[in-house]
Amino acid sequence: CFMFSAPAGAASSAPRLVERDGRFALFVDGAPYLMLGAQVHNSSNHPQALQKVWPAVADARANTVLVPVAWEQIEPVEGRFDFSFLDTLVREARQRQVRLVLLWFATWKNTSPQYAPGWVKFDNRRFPRMVGRDGKPHYVLSPFGDQTLAADKRAFVALMGHLKKIDEAHHTVIMVQVQNEVGSYGLVRDFGPTAQAAFDKDVPAEVLARQKPRSAGAASGSWKAVYGDYADEYFHSWATARYIGDIARAGREVYDLPMYVNNALRDSLEPIAPWNNNFASGGPTYDVIDIYKAAAPKIDIVSPDIYNPASAQVSATLGHFQRRDNALWVPEIGNAAVYARFLYEVIGRGALGVSPFGLDYADYSNFPLGSKLTDQRMVEPFGKVFAAFRPIQRQWAQWAFEGRTRGVAEGDDGADQLITFKGWKARVSFGQWQFGEKDWPGNAKEAPPHAGQRLGGVAIAQTGDDEFVVVGQYARVRFEPDLAPGQLGSMLARVEEGHHDIQGQWQVDRLWNGDQVDYGLNLTATPLTLKVRLGRY
Ligand code: N0T
């Protein structure tokens, strides 16, 4: 039975991020919660548009929906606020018993001021843009615009104040993203006079304490003196993080919810080198997480948006962002079918959650970043995975918090992967017949509609010394024992295929044995949950 005790006094408390031994849980209603997320399209933040959101959320079996709230939408006229969309959104989410994560699209949305109100984005004098080395204005609003910061902060504080009023008793909204994919493309930092004066000052002590220089430089002093060729990017990261951190702090003083930033990734595998117009400078790329931690202490998490399906990139990215000081949370991953397998890797790693991007039925296809499709066929690969986790999401989040879970996705090479547990290794292989070995030609996934695609993924929780819960698809799992002297080998003691009933109780549908286990535990197109007990002889 999936029961566990929450820390005393935690029940009915506000959502919060809890760290223990370098692992994290998002506590919602006093217990760890796994976000099975659906992020809507950018322009679905209108009452009418929600009609194309909710059916997709249901098909995705998501328990959490990520929705933008735009500055232009809540403050079209300076100082006059309109929260009618937020009221509708929160009410409709409650009716459908899903939680919300709000995305604050304001000064920076994919770096641009496109979501700032018209009275901001066309007033260069009051709300200055960054300035290039040549003195020409850049499209991005400067992080040194004092009035921009004050105005954005005032709107965000109003938003959080309203949210407190309508939601403090419910906590339908469990987290807030502050801005969206910040930084600047095409310009490494602001070269305007205010920015330049700050650049020539000493690096603040809190940054020095965290961000190591990449080459030998001065131990303290100006950005250039300390960080050399990386000074421009680091300085811009600091300026941007400080700006966001100030907004987050002010918002949390009014209503304290967990807050995070998201990142349009730089290449995860190429060696770090000074910025060369290859990513948005100043954004929270993995190499400057320490600067964000130092400059924006009220931002809990720096998180990756995954749009490169190369399996080595995905794995490296997850490794870069999952740290003892940074919880793993994937607020965006492409909605094409090839991404669904990575949900197992993310969830198995013990992430707070994962959210495919563009999971609604608006007539908009996110190809080539995501799927060409805009209907149920787009949502289905994710819905199948979430359907397997949803009945055990609380229990899984608790196991993850205890460090019991692991996960893998089929690599682009299709090679076996070995997962190490206490006393056991799980060997995961792909592209096998259910009865037989790899060199036997073909298997179920060679058939349409996914011919030739790599779709395998497995997440495993070790629930006891010799007990595991296995969730997966298009993969084979074999358990290999660590043997003590005198022991010969191991066998499966009991393999239950089952499901959770409406009360959350595990119901055994059948036991697997014979052909169904002789070559390992074979998972096919429909994700299954297995409870496995092993023994040694
Ligand atoms: C994302 C989304 C939305 C390998 C794109 C990704 C969302 C934003 N931006 O649909 O706009 O609001 O966060 C940028 C991906 C860059 C290209 C990567 C190619």
Query: Could you tell me what percent of the chain has a pLDDT over 90?
Result: 91
pLDDT exceeds 90 at position 52:
yes
Cis peptide, bond prior to residue 449, ω within 30 of zero: yes
As a dihedral over the C-alpha atoms of residue 26, residue 67, residue 380, residue 24, rounded to 10 degrees, the angle is -10
- Give 132 or 433, the one with higher predicted confidence: 132
| 126-167 per-position pLDDT tens digit | 999 999 999 999 999 999 999 999 999 999 999 999 999 999
Which CATH class name applies to 34-392? alpha beta
Q: Rounded to an integer, what distance in angstroms lies between the CA atom of residue 120 and that of residue 141?
A: 10
Going by pLDDT thresholds of 50, 70 and 90, the confidence category of residue 3 is: very low
| Cβ–ligand 1 contact at 355 (below 6 Å) | no
Over 60: is that where the pLDDT of 465 sits?
yes
Does the pLDDT value for residue 86 go beyond 70? yes
Ligand 1 pocket test: which of 302, 305, 333 has the largest number of ligand atoms within 8 Å of its C-beta? 305
pLDDT in tens, 164-216: 999 999 999 999 999 999 999 999 999 999 999 999 999 999 999 999 999 88
Residues 6+ apart with CB under 8 A from 516: 434, 495, 522
Which of 179, 369, 378 is the pocket-test mutation for ligand 1 (most atoms within 8 Å of CB)?
369
Write down the pLDDT at residue 9. 42
Pick the closest to residue 424 from 493, 490, 346, 514 (CA basis). 490
**Is the ipTM reported for this complex over the cut 0.90?**
yes
Within 8 A by CB and 6+ apart from 109, the residues are 42, 115, 179, 180, 181
pLDDT at 194 (0 to 100): 98
Distance 334 CA to ligand 1 centre (A): 9
pLDDT at 448 (0 to 100): 52
Ligand 1 atom closest to residue 366's alpha carbon, by position in its atom list: 10
Over residues 442-458, the mean pLDDT reads 67
Kindly tell me the burial class for residue 58, based on how many C-beta atoms sit within 10 Å of its own C-beta (0-12, 13-18, 19 or more).
middle
C-beta of 142 in contact with ligand 1 (< 6 A): no
- Tokens read off for 279: 């990513």
CB distance 357 to ligand 1 below 6 Å: yes
Instruction: Name the average pLDDT for the chain.
Output: 95
* Confidence check: pLDDT of 419 > 50: yes
**Helix, strand, coil abundance in the chain, percent, nearest 5:** 30, 30, 40
pLDDT band at 504 (very low <50, low <70, confident <90, very high): confident
- pLDDT of 381 > 70? The answer is yes
Cα distance between residue 514 and residue 519, in whole Å: 9
Spans of all domains in the chain: 34-392, 417-536
**Ligand 1 and 366: CB distance under 6 A:** yes
**Cα(365) to centroid of ligand 1, in Å?**
13
Helices (H), 223-302: 223-227, 231-254, 289-295
The alpha carbon of 515 and the centre of ligand 1 are apart by a number of angstroms equal to 45
Whether the pLDDT of residue 444 is over 60: the answer is no
Gap from CA of 105 to ligand 1 centroid (Å): 14
The answer to whether the CB of 72 is under 6 A from ligand 1 is no
Considering only CA atoms, give the Rg of the chain.
Answer: 24
Res 415: pLDDT: 93
* Torsion of the alpha carbons at 19, 157, 182 and 242, rounded to the nearest 10: -70
User: Which ligand 1 atom is nearest residue 105's CA?
Assistant: 12
Residue nearest to atom 6 of ligand 1 (CA): 264
> Does pLDDT of 252 surpass 70?
yes
Q: Is the peptide bond before 76 cis (omega within 30 degrees of 0)?
A: no
Distance 305 CA to ligand 1 centre (A): 7
Structure tokens that stand for 92 in this block: 């409709």
CATH of range 417-536; options 1.10.10.10, 2.60.220.20, 1.10.1200.30, 3.50.50.60: 2.60.220.20
Task: Assess whether pLDDT exceeds 90 at residue 12.
Answer: no
End-to-end CA distance of the chain: give it in Å, rounded.
28
286 Cα: distance to centroid of ligand 1 (angstroms) = 17
- For range 381-407, the mean pLDDT: 97
Per-residue pLDDT tens for 91-117? 999 999 999 999 999 999 999 999 999
Our answer on whether the CB atom of 110 is closer than 6 Å to any ligand 1 atom is yes
Q: Rounded to the nearest whole angstrom, what is the distance from the C-alpha of residue 273 to the centroid of ligand 1? A: 23
Q: pLDDT band for position 238 (50/70/90)?
A: very high
Amino acid in the structure at residue 254: V
Cβ within 8 Å of residue 358, ≥6 positions away: 39, 40, 41, 335, 364, 366, 370, 371, 378
More confident residue, 121 or 452: 121
Question: 270-329, pLDDT tens digit by residue?
Answer: 999 999 999 999 999 999 999 999 999 999 999 999 999 999 999 999 999 999 999 999
User: What single string gives the DSSP state of each residue in 138-182?
Assistant: EEEEPTT-HHHHHHHHHHHHHHHHHHHHHHTTT--EEEEEEEES-
Pocket flag, ligand 1, residue 211 (CB < 6 Å): no
Task: Answer whether 260 contacts ligand 1 (Cβ < 6 A).
Answer: no
Collect all residues with Cβ–Cβ distance below 8 Å to 533 and sequence separation of at least 6: 466, 467, 492, 493, 494, 495
In ligand 1, the atom with minimum distance to the C-alpha of 370 is 10
How does DSSP assign 217-241, residue by residue? --SSSBHHHHHGGGHHHHHHHHHHH
In the predicted structure, residue 529 carries a pLDDT above the cut 80: yes
Phi–psi pair at 17, nearest 5 degrees: -90, 130
Question: Quick one: pLDDT band at residue 440, thresholds 50, 70, 90?
Answer: low
Which of 147-156, 218-227, 496-505 is predicted with the least confidence, judged by mean pLDDT? 496-505
Question: What's the confidence (pLDDT) of residue 389?
Answer: 97
- The whole-number pLDDT of residue 438 equals 67
Please say whether the dihedral angle defined by the alpha carbons of residues 231, 236, 239 and 242, taken in this order, is positive or negative.
negative
Confirm if 90 and 172 have CB atoms less than 8 A apart. yes
Q: How far apart are CA 113 and CA 143, in angstroms?
A: 12
Q: Please check the confidence at residue 70 and state whether its pLDDT lies above 80.
A: yes
pLDDT band of 436, cuts 50, 70, 90: confident
Report the b/e string of 225-248 with b at 16+ CB within 10 A: bbbbebbbbbbbbbbbbbbbbbbb
Question: Pairing between strand 259-264 and 301-306?
Answer: parallel
Q: Which residue has a Cα nearest atom 14 of ligand 1?
A: 264
pLDDT at 46: 98
Query: Residue 270 C-alpha to ligand 1 middle, in angstroms?
Result: 20
What is the residue with the minimal CA distance to atom 5 of ligand 1?
369
CA nearest to 227, candidates 289, 169, 274: 274
